[in-house]
């Protein structure tokens, strides 16, 4: 573990040990392995228990793999092409509560989908898989190519694989292949009243 990431304040190491590498080993992944990650996302709490998250995925070695890779901006595609799976996370903008006839908006679709992806990538880390969430992809193209209706928002892409050697990366990316840092607690936690600079 990098000295950049001390385990402080009694937190479980599982949160600190998860990070987002870019080097993958070009191995394949089974549906069962992915289902373990989706199962973690499944138990995410959500507003009204609406469960707005939807995941569309492609695995290396399947006909859709290249289609999914081509959605990424070139900077991301250059490293993600060695991963094992690519997941597009989208969120339902409407929800019909049980027993109701009309759809509502919970207002928490993106928030809840971010939560679900957080559990997905944490389970991946527990399963000794590496993940990297990216927003650098063509969301309009994803909507068109994957047939995503207008009442779903395209949120993020999740690159999943087994971590590879840094040497597989360009020198520029090799220099970034290390867990990144975080701001200290006092920058984002306040008692009683908002007291942050930015």
How far, in Å, CA of 95 to CA of 163, rounded? 38
DSSP-derived 3-state class of residue 171:
helix
Residue from 26, 111, 140, 165 touching a second copy (CB under 8 A): that is 111
Phi, psi of 143 (to 5 degrees): -60, -45
Residue 27 CB contacts under 8 Å (≥ 6 apart), including other chains: 60, 84, 161, 162
Residue placing its CB nearer to a second copy in the complex, 90 or 167: 90
Residue 118 makes contact with a second copy by CB under 8 A: yes
Residue 96 makes contact with a second copy by CB under 8 A: yes
Interface positions, 62-81, toward a second copy (CB under 8 A): 62-64
Interface positions, 4-63, toward a second copy (CB under 8 A): 5, 8-12, 15-16, 18-20, 31-32, 35-36, 38-40, 42-45, 47, 49, 51, 53-59, 62-63
Question: Residue 36 is encoded by which pair of tokens?
Answer: 């373990």
Residue 160 makes contact with a second copy by CB under 8 A: no
CB of residue 114 vs a second copy: minimum separation in angstroms? Answer: 3
Residue from 78, 146, 168, 173 touching a second copy (CB under 8 A): that is 146
Residue 98 makes contact with a second copy by CB under 8 A: no
Residue placing its CB nearer to a second copy in the complex, 116 or 167: 116
Residue 176 CB contacts under 8 Å (≥ 6 apart), including other chains: 22
**137 C-beta neighbours (distance < 10 Å), count:** 21
DSSP-derived 3-state class of residue 89:
strand
């Amino acid at each position: 573990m990098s000295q950049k990431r001390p385990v402080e304040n009694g937190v479980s190491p599982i949160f600190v040990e998860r990070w987002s590498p870019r080097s993958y080993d070009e191995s394949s992944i089974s549906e069962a392995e992915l289902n373990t990650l989706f199962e973690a996302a499944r138990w995410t709490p959500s507003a009204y228990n609406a469960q707005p998250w939807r995941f569309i995925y492609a695995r290396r070695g399947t006909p859709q793999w290249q289609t999914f890779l081509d959605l990424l901006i070139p900077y991301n595609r250059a490293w993600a092409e060695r991963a094992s799976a690519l997941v597009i996370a989208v969120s339902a903008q409407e929800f019909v509560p049980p027993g109701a006839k009309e759809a509502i908006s919970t207002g928490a679709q993106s928030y809840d989908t971010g939560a679900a992806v957080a559990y997905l990538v944490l389970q991946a880390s527990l399963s000794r898989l590496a993940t990297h969430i990216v927003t650098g992809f063509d969301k309009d193209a994803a909507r068109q190519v994957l047939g995503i209706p207008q009442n779903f928002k395209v949120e993020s892409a999740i690159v999943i694989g087994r971590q590879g050697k840094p040497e597989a990366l360009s020198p520029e990316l090799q220099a970034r292949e290390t867990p990144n840092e975080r701001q200290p607690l006092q920058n984002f936690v306040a008692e009683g009243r908002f007291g942050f600079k930015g």
